[in-house]
Amino acid sequence: DAGVIQSPRHEVTEMGQEVTLRCKPISGHDYLFWYRQTMMRGLELLIYFNNNVPIDDSGMPEDRFSAKMPNASFSTLKIQPSEPRDSAVYFCASSSTGREEKLFFGSGTQLSVL
Amino acid sequence: GESVGLHLPTLSVQEGDNSIINCAYSNSASDYFIWYKQESGKGPQFIIDIRSNMDKRQGQRVTVLLNKTVKHLSLQIAATQPGDSAVYFCAENYASGGSYIPTFGRGTSLIVHP
């Protein structure tokens, strides 16, 4: 299995531009999580999906952030418009059903908003 | 302007020493705990887990101890190697709206000197 695949690995954009981050979870996993990592806040849970349905988006910082999961093998996190304070590493993770399941993380997308 | 980030707790050890990384968790209802290792430029990776009905679990060179009375976890690494240098996170899973949400601690940076 290739693991969780994220793209792009690095994204540099200018303030005000739209940014779309992509994630392909591990096949068969039915939970998908989006995390943001910064030095100030550590790893923050933004949103998670179960069977493609958003369950909890209370961690999404503002309406500028949106996430979708159109099918079991693909999810996007979109920021529109982007701001410099959105600069961070964004991780996608997936896990299989169950309360005692570890997360498998992708390599992350390093986002820099200038 | 200058951005100020919080410095992670850091543990520096010599190769061959044993390392102990500590973590305090917040939710007394949490019933499953995981340690992750994050190397530079990568996503967190699972190391070892423990359920709340246990107080110790051993893996290969790693041991996790759980003290529910004081809500404390520790990760012990035996015969630490340079390849163990990374940031280590503990995560707790607790119930939220019928699902189990993993929440991460701030992390500890382990530096192993050859």
User: pLDDT digits over A78-97, tens only?
Assistant: 999 999 999 999 999 999 87
Residue B46 C-alpha, separation from nearest chain A C-alpha, in angstroms = 7
What is the pLDDT confidence band of residue B2, given thresholds at 50, 70 and 90? very low
Contact call for residues A72 and A9 (beta carbons, < 8 A):
no
* DSSP for chain A, written as a single string: ----EEE-SEEEE-TT--EEEEEEPPTT--EEEEEEEETTTEEEEEEEEETTEEEE-TT--STTEEEEEEETTEEEEEESS--GGG-EEEEEEEE-SSSS---EE---EEEEE-
Residues 6+ apart with CB under 8 A from A24: A4, A5, A6, A73, A74, A75
Residue B61 has pLDDT above 50, yes or no: yes
Q: What is the pLDDT of residues A46-82, one digit of tens each?
A: 999 999 999 889 999 889 999 999 999 999 999 999 9
Ramachandran quadrant class, A41 (left: phi over 0; alpha: psi -120 to 50; beta: rest)? alpha
Asked if the C-beta of B94 comes within 8 angstroms of chain A's C-beta atoms, the answer is no
Asked if the C-beta of B1 comes within 8 angstroms of chain A's C-beta atoms, the answer is no
Contact call for residues B64 and B73 (beta carbons, < 8 A):
yes
Contact call for residues A109 and A11 (beta carbons, < 8 A):
yes
DSSP state letter for B107: -
d(CA B61, CA B84): 11
Give the chain A residue whose CA is nearest to the CA of B103: A45
Single-letter amino acid code for the residue at A68:
K
Residues of chain B in contact with residue A38, where contact means CB-CB under 8 angstroms, are: 5
What is the pLDDT confidence band of residue B94, given thresholds at 50, 70 and 90? confident
Residues of chain B in contact with residue A100, where contact means CB-CB under 8 angstroms, are: 32, 49, 51, 93, 100
